Structure 1
Amino acid sequence: MKKKHITGYLLALIISSSAAFAQVSDGTKVGINSGRGLNALKSDVFWTSPTEAPNVIGDFYIDSLWQEGKVKFTSIVPQLGGWNSDSLAGIQMRYNTLNDELEVLADKSKNDIRVIRGSQLKNFTINAGTDPVMYVNAAAFKSDKPLKGFARMVADGNLSLVEYFYPKITKPNYNPGFNTGEKNTVVRQGSDYYVISNGTAEKASLSKKGILAFMKEKQKDVEAYVKEKNINFKNEYDVVQLFKFYNGLK
């Protein structure tokens, strides 16, 4: 995709709900409707930059590489020119778990990065490899401990499996007397699996006991399948096949 298209529709992407929207040409309106976005000046729109995190080091991203994908907003977002849309595709992005922000690369040559706050997104999809990978807003799930951030959809159905990502934060432990320890806050990526049923998320381990506990209603069929297919519960692919089998049972 050409740079002018990337820069154009990204400016329309990160907008304030209270902003007044400028009028644009008919040609630009066609761009909105077709998903190619906007050719608008920076002064025409509101946008936000990534949140600064001074004295914080480590790994902030699920994947630090820029990947092409699409986003779906939690609600319809007014676009410039009067068009409304709840989604946008063909953008370069990466998710920052520490700040709960989806960073969007507007202009690579200028290192121009904008963000969409996690609270504004229902999900986003990365076009990685042969199969798109969807990340859903974990705040939508009911759970004992409220979840904030996004979870990768591993297996989708009446009974779903997701991998929830979160930042693991280590506070500074520098000892000036001995000149030892870390002066900065250190961030690492953590993740847990959750099983989703009727909108409720429960933490689960990838183990036979951990997964089959959620499949008691069809226990005999499931146990027969596990034995026949020699399911390895440490292998995510095998577990996905089991969820597909379970969700396909009447």
Structure 2
Amino acid sequence: MFWNRFNFCCCLLVGSLVGILPTTVTAAEWGTLTGQFIYTGQVPQPEQLDISRDEAICGKFSDLIVDQGLVTGKKGELQNVFIYLRESNLEQSQIHNDYLKLPETVTIQNKGCIFQPHVAGLWVNRQKLLAENKDLCAHGFQVKAYRNTSLNQVLPPGQEMLHTFEYGEKLPLRMSCSIHPWQEGWLVALNHPYFATSDERGRFTIKNLPVGEWEFQLWQEKAGYLAARPEWKRGRIKMKIAPGENDLGVIKVSPAVFAGK
């Protein structure tokens, strides 16, 4: 009788503790998504842009001031394609701990009278935007936002600005300069860290995604939604992320995609 009562009391105690202790859900496994974008048309030559303001300063960088809307390598490697997870309500347990090591700021420089880098990504929950003017002339740093407050700040030479986004955005945001009309760049601001842009080899990698069924968005500034394959309507990819490597392979992008056909 004593042992029965003792066991009953122990069960009650354990049950009570389970009820008050915090519980955490952890993703059991993680997967990495990779791929490579190849433009199948004739490799375009960068078009020089008209330097209509501050020519004495910006004219020194005329080799950099070109149309960057469609940048490819010698073999058609397509740069600056955004790919990101179309999800706005991820639980903390679905964010891999490695992402907690990301720097607290993402830096965009006005340098050579262009934005460097031309495209960038930012995790709004943990990262701030740092805009820096490295030129000898003033720049008007503008960001056209949808859910957040838009930016329009004049930065004198050597000055910088720190900005916090409150909300994740559904689409990349256009950066521009109110003083130099040729300046343009793009920023994806999301409430998770699962995004990438294709590099000079046309390749991208998104590491440590939670396994499961997800939808991804492809976007490129000349094409908008990048429907590189017929089944990717509005540039959206539905796929299952499995543990380990998940490779989309070579993604061929035809000129028709940029013609809006």
Normalising TM by the smaller chain, what interval?
A: under 0.3
Greater relative contact order (CA < 8 Å, ≥ 6 in sequence): 2
Q: Flag the structure with higher helix content.
A: 1
**TM-score (norm. length: structure 1):** 0.22
Larger Rg: 2
Q: TM-score, normalised by structure 2?
A: 0.22
